[in-house]
Amino acid sequence: MPELPEVETTARLLRGPLVGRQVSGLEVQWPRSLGGQEEAEVREHVRGARITGVTRRAKLVIIELARRGRRIGILAVHLRMTGRLVVMDKRTDPGRFARVSLLLDRGVLHFLDVRKFGRMTWHADPTDLFARYGPEPLSEEFSVAWLRRALGGRKRALKPLLLDQSFLAGLGNIYVDEVLFGAGLHPLRRSDRVPGKKVALLHGMIQTVLREAIEREGSSFDEFYRTPEGQPGAYQEQFKVYGRTGKPCRACGRAIRRLVVGQRGTHICTRCQPAPRPLSSPRS
DNA sequence: CTATGGCCCTGGTTGC
DNA sequence: TGCAACCAGGGCCATA
């Protein structure tokens, strides 16, 4: 459940069950999920602390902790490809994919992760962590003017740039494909060659797609990756190109094509997203 | 600065 | 049916 809408949904769903809970312990089934941090050290920090908030920054779920009413730091959870956060009863077996478990005064927060790419890390001061990310696409900071300047200052293909979390936070492979289709832009178009009018359209698409996905609680097309009791998410029903290879474009009817851009599966309509003119002939 | 490929991991799907 | 190859919503790192 990895992109911004899924992470936002996760944070919102966890807020109720977690805020106000006190941490009583930490169990680590897969040490590498702590991203190199020492288990004993992390446990020391969180044990006895109170959860005061569950929020999101980029694709990170942020669990805010306090001691005696004073904030002491955060746990940052990156779900990567297959991570999930679920609250269970203490008696419930979380299964073989549990990697880290945060014991609470009531229940347990399990970090499940089939592929083990995800991370849960402790940060006394998250300033530096957050600074590594670009602006939040649903914030004021992310304006048309900002996007125009930012795109113009780079010479990269649009898709890899939009996937770059230090450029803009939160977009992933699915939503970038959906956004680029919506804006009628080819993923290989150079960022500094997006026409001015298209910049505003792209900006609007990014916000619209993300807002609508959040409203539908994200996408979860694969049963396997769903939260056991959580809502499945319904945005996948709106996909216009992602995972629709060979199916007719909802706008023009032409078959959706799959290509590879920056090692990521990419879905486009070749009529609605015309190929950019090659910059320089590959070799002449 | 930008592009590319390997790597971290496991499991489901596809094709022969 | 069996099995290998390929695919997956992410991101870090080294190299060119």
Domains defined along chain A, listed by start: 4-131 (3.20.190.10), 144-268 (1.10.8.50)
Q: What is the spatial distance, in angstroms and rounded to an integer, between the CA atom of A68 and the C1' atom of C13? A: 41
- Burial grade of A66 (CB within 10 A; 0-12, 13-18, 19 or more): middle
The reply to whether A39 belongs to the active site is no
- Do A13 and A214 touch, CB atoms closer than 8 A? no
Which H/E stretch holds residue A86?
strand A83-88
Q: What pLDDT score does A278 carry?
A: 66
Closest alpha carbon to C1' of B2, residue:
A156
Q: What pLDDT score does A258 carry?
A: 95
Torsion sign across C-alpha atoms A124, A125, A129, A130: positive
Look at residue A251 and give its three-state secondary structure.
coil
Nucleotides of strand B under 7 angstroms from a protein beta carbon: 1-12
Alpha carbons A62 and A120: distance in angstroms, whole number: 10
- Do A254 and A241 touch, CB atoms closer than 8 A? no
Block mean pLDDT (10 aa), chain A, length 284: 91 96 98 98 98 98 98 98 95 97 98 97 98 98 98 98 98 97 98 97 98 91 52 85 95 96 96 81 36
Number of CB atoms found within 10 A of residue A106's CB: 12
